[in-house]
Structure 1
């Protein structure tokens, strides 16, 4: 069991840091609620309802690519020294590959750069895991990027997304991070309740979509702690 270094009013708190782009941000930059209005907020509700002593920080930023996340990560980790980190990043990188008239060869170059940067990110976040195991070892939860085939223009993004997911899974295994598969689960749920019930535009989620995502992350975390 992970023993937190953080305390609040004498209670040991597990500090959870959520990293990502607009899906994680979900309005938190322009909201009085620092957790935003999406899955991070709903995850917090689930954890506290279950009596879990978690403090949660949302560092998702609208428009972030992996490169931008890397530029900020060292300061955030030093400032809060989290016990658990979740990472959901990559769909904006796919957008750059698809929407900038890159050739297939150029897209593959960008994909290789993404993989290199992603490994740097996970290696830096999990550095503590390569020391002697201890109760304070940080745990990483790597969330699979996702997209919906609605509108149909996003169908052409699927091959690159599948390739990216494979690279992320490989890196996750290498650094003993927990890979949380989301693409197939979200598509299955959207097929059950309707695409427009889960996603507003094929990339971003509705409140129901965020709830589904929060429940998947909640299950992954509570299965291990």
Structure 2
């Protein structure tokens, strides 16, 4: 079923570098060069008049979202909010030794969504964090990342959100494309093909295509 958006609705993308995708911070409506911009093309064609914004910030973890939630999310009163966050919480444990306990991560994520719903009747798309391992060491990330994926699934059920199961989607796309580098050359940041796979899945989920 397609999501119903009121005329003039604001659709907001939120998250980390995967969503940021090089957006121009000085251009209010610039969407970057990734899946958000590609998905917006289909969304605008199907829902003329919607406003699409991207407020993702490269490197963000849930704690960073919490620090800017009022300014970069709530202030825009989104009719539809799309969030993908979590891989940096895992990554920083492995490259910097900065753990982000999953229980606290899920609690903080839930608090953000609860605060949003207490103020607005916002529809949600929650996108799983993912890794498409390109080096053997990234398989070890699974121990930390998989519980975050399960947490996103719980939150999607709890908040009646559309769930984009990106982890399985992109890993399968990598197999079809001949290898992980075709989808995410460092295992995390999508290639143009990876962004296209994400964008098509997002648009299908929202538009019911």
Runs of 4+ in 1 over 3 A off after TM superposition: 29-33, 49-53
User: 1:25 corresponds to which residue?
Assistant: 20
Q: CA deviation at 1:25?
A: 0.5
Please give the residue correspondences for 1:164-175 in structure 2 after superposition, counting only pairs within 5 Å.
164-175=148-159
The alignment status of 1:56 with 2:47, answered yes or no, reads no
What is the CA–CA distance in structure 2 between the aligned matches of 1:101 and 1:82, rounded to whole Å? 35
What is the CA–CA distance in structure 2 between the aligned matches of 1:112 and 1:159, rounded to whole Å? 14
Change (3 A) 1:3 1:157: closer
Q: 2:93 aligns with which of 85, 97, 122?
A: 97
Change (3 A) 1:35 1:163: same
Change (3 A) 1:182 1:3: closer
Asked if the contact 1:19/1:59 (under 8 Å) is kept, the reply is yes
Count matched residues: 205
Q: CA deviation at 1:113?
A: 1.4
Deviation string 1:126-175 (CA, Å, 9 cap, x unpaired) is 2257xxxxxxx310110000001112221100122111111121122122
Asked if the contact 2:18/2:190 (under 8 Å) is kept, the reply is yes
User: 2:72 corresponds to which residue?
Assistant: 76
Normalization by structure 2: what TM-score?
0.89
Change (3 A) 1:178 1:3: closer
Q: Which has the larger radius of gyration?
A: 1
Please give the residue correspondences for 1:17-166 in structure 2 after superposition, counting only pairs within 5 Å.
17-29=12-24, 34-50=30-46, 52-101=48-97, 107=99, 110-128=101-119, 137-166=121-150
Normalization by structure 1: what TM-score?
0.83
Asked if the contact 2:74/2:116 (under 8 Å) is kept, the reply is no
Q: CA deviation at 1:30?
A: 6.3
Q: CA deviation at 1:52?
A: 4.1
Asked if the contact 1:197/1:208 (under 8 Å) is kept, the reply is yes
Q: CA deviation at 1:99?
A: 2.6
Gap runs ≥5 in structure 2: none
Structure 1 residues 76-85 or 205-214, which shifts more? 76-85
Q: CA RMSD in A?
A: 2.1
SS at match of 2:73: helix
SS at match of 1:179: strand
